[in-house]
Structure 1
Amino acid sequence: MVEILSGIFDDSASSVLAFLAAGTVFKIGAFLWLRKKKDERFVPVGQVTQINLFPVKSCKGIPIRSARATEIGVLYEGVQDRSFLIIGADHVYITQRQEPSMALIVPSIHGDMLHLDAPGMQTLKVPKHLPVLDSNLTKFQVKLDILKAVDCGTEAAAWVSKYLKRPGLKLLYYAPELPKRDLTVVKKAWDTRAKTGDKTNFSDFCAYLLTSEESLASVNSQLEEPVTMWRFRSNIIMKGSPAFEEEKWIEFRIGGARFRALDICARCVLTTVDPDKGVKDPNKEPLKTMEIYHSSKEYNNKALFGLDATVDWPGDIHVGDIVYALKA
């Protein structure tokens, strides 16, 4: 009798396991089928012409040929995009909006060190990675977010304070293991497509900004003095698509990475800073013209340029990669 019942239970257990396994296989198959059908809707829209890494928020960028596209930004030789930040004595972040000469701070990567150079200053050398200790954590504020990052020390603090001629400044490092900024709580006057789990380092809103050469050419056609793409501080630059066509994308793929569009980038006074001189344009260009030429009531009549995005599937990207987009 025991043997009979045991056999029944064994058969029942096997049936349940088989049913569950079949259900799992079905779900995986359905997911892959839906993804394949979705992928078929992606169309080639252009080619990557430049990738930029900005190690220190609001300082000069480094053009690179390839990078790892991670969930919190471009990663190159162990340095994450916008993983360093300058804050004031009040712990609030500082950018070229307040200090346009930050545009002349030049970061470079040397082995395990990040070097910072600026006019009239000796080279500052800081480790690319600093340990997280209770003794070196300090709070910072970017927009309305208040979190903690690693203080890079007194030498770095003295360097940035001297160059910017502001006492009490600090250089911070956003270690990978520290809690990141949640994009769903970043306040804007309009809705974005940010989802739970979307995060970033020290950037204003999100981890990626894509711009196109055709959009820049369109803007420059309206300006007396053309500007370069460095005014817009994008991570990914592409060509091959009509001007401002990127604003219609829902998702896009580059190399092994899959990106989700979050918002059209509304531009600010930072675009008026000449990246080669570190001074603001006295005529507030190109922002003044862009607010007339390419803006929207939906965005409070702000100038629009570029596509804010996040990564849903990390992967390697390279200059020369084809860009595939899923359009609205």
Structure 2
Amino acid sequence: MLRVHSLYCFPVKSLAVASCRAVTVDDWGPSGDRRWMVVDEAGAFVTQRQLPAMCRIQASWRDAELLLQDLDHPQEAARVDIPRENVVSVKVWRDDCTAWDAGDEAADWLSQRLGRAVRLCFMPDSSFRQVDLDYAQPGERVSFADGFPFLICQLSSLSKLEEAVGHRLAMSRFRPNIVVEGGEAFAERHWRGLRIGELEFDLVKPCARCAIPTIDPATAERQRNVFTALRALCSDGREVHFGQNALHRGQGQVRVGDPVTVLS
């Protein structure tokens, strides 16, 4: 039987993962997921691809504010309120988006820890970013996630990759929102529709992989053998894939332990 093994949310794009027991799904996808983003001085998005140390900064929501914590120095933290002024234009991949700059204090805190001048921004409800129309309908939105509201991975696929690498791997390397257990390794490649708890999902595109899964989230060090194993197991000859990008149908909740049904 397929079921939800684990759930993850990423309040700030490319910072450390937040594990959840339940996720509220709203118009955006997982509520609060990647509504914040780190950008350079030109407003272009910055991720672990450029700055692996981003995986050592934890972001979480507490009492309607964002808490940033340095995982290597837990006593060092910053609290950030949702900004209401200073509208800026930022870029994530090919999309130009309207955002709110979080101010100099948050920018300085992040810049000191990442060793590069960066700023923090928030995507307000008034901002709209269309999901790629090759896969979605007009009006379907996405936050600062790479392209889709959800990424779904399978635990058995990770286990198969671990066998090839020769050691354990944290699923958080792959940045999924929903991890499913109980199926055969890589069976998700053939899934097109799922019912998870009370919601339905369309799996529209395999997730092409960059270098981020090679970064050990516990140390921020690159392990290039991970990509070698990915290429051997998950290449279509042009790209390396792991997990499936998905669109949600409706709003509600997904919980750890929810049954998962393959619809197509």
TM range (shorter): over 0.9
Q: Pick the aligned partner of 1:139 from 76, 89, 92.
A: 89
Please name the residue that 2:18 is paired with.
62
Superposition pairs of residues 108-123 of structure 1, within 5 angstroms: 108-118=60-70, 119-120=72-73, 122-123=76-77
Displacement of 1:196 after TM fit?
2.4
For the pair 1:107 / 2:47, whether they are aligned, the reply is no
For the pair 1:159 / 2:109, whether they are aligned, the reply is yes
Displacement of 1:220 after TM fit?
1.1
Structure 2 Cα separation of the partners of residues 110 and 199 of structure 1: 25
Unpaired runs of 5+ residues, structure 2, are: none
CA distance 1:139–1:67, shift in 2 (3 Å): same
1:221 aligned counterpart, secondary structure: helix
Larger Rg: 1
Displacement of 1:277 after TM fit?
0.5
Please name the residue that 1:285 is paired with.
225
Native 8 Å contact 1:258 1:314 kept in 2 = no
Unpaired runs of 5+ residues, structure 1, are: 1-44, 186-191
Which deviations, in whole Å up to 9, do the C-alpha atoms of 1:227-283 show, x marking residues without a partner? 1211111010110111111121111111222211110111110111110111222xx
Superposition pairs of residues 130-279 of structure 1, within 5 angstroms: 130-131=83-84, 133=85, 136-167=86-117, 169-179=118-128, 181-184=129-132, 193-279=135-221
Native 8 Å contact 2:28 2:143 kept in 1 = yes
Displacement of 1:162 after TM fit?
1.1
Q: Give the alignment's TM-score, normalised by structure 2.
A: 0.94
What's the RMSD between the two structures over aligned residues?
Answer: 1.5
Displacement of 1:113 after TM fit?
1.6
1:126 aligned counterpart, secondary structure: strand
Which deviations, in whole Å up to 9, do the C-alpha atoms of 1:26-46 show, x marking residues without a partner? xxxxxxxxxxxxxxxxxxx50
Q: Give the alignment's TM-score, normalised by structure 1.
A: 0.76
Count of residues in correspondence between the two structures: 262
1:296 aligned counterpart, secondary structure: coil
Native 8 Å contact 2:150 2:246 kept in 1 = yes
Displacement of 1:71 after TM fit?
3.3
Structure 1 Cα separation of the partners of residues 186 and 48 of structure 2: 26
Q: Give identity over the alignment, percent.
A: 29
2:232 aligned counterpart, secondary structure: helix
Structure 2 Cα separation of the partners of residues 227 and 242 of structure 1: 18
2:212 aligned counterpart, secondary structure: helix
Displacement of 1:197 after TM fit?
2.5
1:279 aligned counterpart, secondary structure: coil
Displacement of 1:67 after TM fit?
1.4
Native 8 Å contact 2:132 2:147 kept in 1 = no
CA distance 1:285–1:195, shift in 2 (3 Å): farther
